[in-house]
Amino acid sequence: MRGTLQMGDRMTPIPFKKIMEWVLEENKKYGKIFGVKQFYKKQDDRVLEIFGEKIETPFGPAAGPHTQLTQNIIAAYVSGCRFFELKTVQTLDGEDLVVQKPCIRAEDECYNIEWSTELTVTQAYDEYVKAWFALKILSKELKLGSPDGFIFNMSVGYDFKGISSFKIDEFIMALKDASNSSIWKECKEYILQNIDKFENIDSEYVKCISPNVCRSITLSTMHGCPSQEIKRIATYLINEKGLNTYVKCNPTLLGYEFVRKTLDQMGYEYVSFDDSHFKDDLQFTDAVSMFKDLQDLAKEKGLSFGVKLTNTVPVQIKNAELPGDEMYMSGKALYPIAIALAYKLSKEFDGKLKISYSGGADILNIADIFETGIWPITIASTLLKVGGYQKCIQIAKKLEKSEYEDKYSMDNEKLRELKDKSVKDVNYIKSENRIIKAKINRKVTLTNCFSAPSALDSNQRTRICENCVGVCPNRANVTINIKDNEKHQIIHLDKICNECGNCEMFCPYDSAPYKQKFTLFSTEEGFKESQNSGFIIINKDEKIVKIRFEGKVIEVNLKESNLGIPKDIENMILSVISNYSYII
């Protein structure tokens, strides 16, 4: 069963050559990279060391929608992230993996029905290698920080049979050393052949880029996975694969009564779930025993072991919020639960258990989380809200004020204080939070996203709403200027949209931008299967395009006059061809 589709919901990865051309041209012309308008530049040489690697800032995107495609990862890096938990891969992939759409709802607390990458394992691997190579180039070329100041952490699931299969084993080993892969050679060859496009990159540097993309891994298992199975997988990853290993834990370790009481106390009594997952999942006593054994094993092998806190909370779908019967809750409602579990585990281990974090971290609490000794900290829900990746700059600058010393063991007293504070914090209590505004009963048009006449930008131009641009993790909504910057407009890119639906949540009007904004298609197949108004370029040089408008499909030559289409649409397409060819 799938949500009603208006167009194809499969993403098309962008070739490395095209990615780099997009980055270079957009930055040169408009001072942006994948829509990110302000870049974060590391101003000092402070780093944290983990897994034998270094990170300049102790945070980054969690395994999820922001680490699925190369452009996601690049956008996160230029905005300040330095730790990247790559989206989980499993043996079930590509066309065999059916993800119902829409799949994300992040209005307040966040819900999703995703799990692993929607790409094939091979495609996912290519995306991660392209991103790694791109960051090695951009960090040095744009002087954003040290080329060795960021870390990629792979994520795999969900059982021993799948993780030890040839498909996943090949993925793991090729991320440990990518040098023999075709995509690695493609990336290196492109940069070497285009070295003249860069000011701070030379061929010697390119040849010395490390192919060791990942030295660490996060294990994700399904709810109900037995403790023996989890331990078997983690032991395999440490012993056989030689990887620094973290095990992602479920909030169910806290028990049904605690989680239910905490959510009720904070105004989330309407969130519906029973105790079935709590009974079937890993139990706390078994987890502690297992983690101690794995800690000892990793130490014996000269590796790191830790836990990732936490996975999402499975809850019942009661009001058709998303397709299906069950969805996964994260964001602000998960924060007090994840912190409580961190304290409970850390107390058992006297502060000697390494903890990586994901659970409602945002600009308001991330410094407090870091001060307890928890890091790296990964974020997702806050990036799905208005502002998107641009929030990372604020987070990075806030963390600049934190000390990096003495962050290699937990401060259990600070963690206890944070646990107690979290359930009283008005920023995370539902009843105290801002009421979500109702949608304005008006549809956006193809050529305008409404704003008040008084809303002007720095050049005194009427500013349009760009909510859908910021909240799209894939960068599928792009702002363009028409007719020498006199007017702004938003173009939707079919090829990198997976119809997650998040932009609809934040459009202030009764509209879904991914369905109702003028769409640029990259393939005839995508154009035909969609109902969106939009266009596909048949011949760029001759300006021949095929357009769907008001339900009709016509092919026109834009060099001619009296085309039978509105002038606004004609100017929009001409602007894309002339000034934004990198998005085609």
Given this model, what pLDDT does residue 366 score? 98
Q: Is there a single domain that holds both residue 377 and residue 491?
A: no
- Asked if the structure places residue 66 within a domain, the reply is yes
- Inform me whether the pLDDT recorded for 434 exceeds 60: no
Give the rounded percent of residues in the chain with a pLDDT score beyond 70: 95
Q: Tell me the CATH number at 362.
A: 3.20.20.70
Q: Is residue 147 part of a domain?
A: yes
- Any domain includes 75: yes
Domain holding 493, by residue range, is 467-583
* Within a domain: 447: no
Written as one letter, the residue type at 428 is Y
State whether 207 and 342 are in the same domain: yes
Of the pLDDT bands very low, low, confident and very high (cuts 50, 70, 90), residue 444 is: confident
Residue 259, domain member (yes or no): yes
396 and 541 in a single domain? The answer is: no
Starting at the edge strand that comes first in sequence, how are the strands of the sheet with 377-379 ordered? 59-61, 377-379, 354-357, 305-309, 244-249, 214-219, 151-156, 83-85
Q: Do the beta carbons of residue 389 and residue 75 sit within 8 Å?
A: yes
Last residue of a domain, one of 413, 432, 451: 432
Answer yes or no: do 402 and 475 share one domain. Answer: no
Domain presence at residue 270: yes
Same domain, 242 and 111: yes
Of the listed ranges 284-298, 437-451, 506-520, the least confidently predicted one is 437-451
pLDDT at 452 over 70: no
Residue 514 and residue 422 in one domain:
no
Give yes or no: residues 406 and 474 share one domain.
Answer: no
Residues 403 and 514 in one domain: no
Residue 423 shares a structural domain with residue 472: no
Residues forming beta bridges with residue 85, ordered by sequence position: 153
Q: Within a domain: residue 319?
A: yes
Indicate whether 476 and 411 sit together in one domain: no
Per-residue pLDDT averaged across 316-332, rounded?
96
**Number of domains present in the structure of the chain:** 2
Distance CA 307, CA 73 (A): 23
Whether residue 133 is found in the same domain as residue 236: yes
**425 and 490: one domain?**
no
Give the Å distances, CA to CA, from 241 to 44, 163, 304. Answer: 35, 11, 13
Say yes or no to pLDDT of 6 above 60.
no
Indicate the pTM of the whole model.
0.96
Looking at 383, 412, 432, which one is the last position of a domain? 432
CA distances in angstroms from 477 to 390, 489, 498, 515, listed in the order given = 15, 10, 12, 11
Task: Flag whether 44 is in a domain.
Answer: no
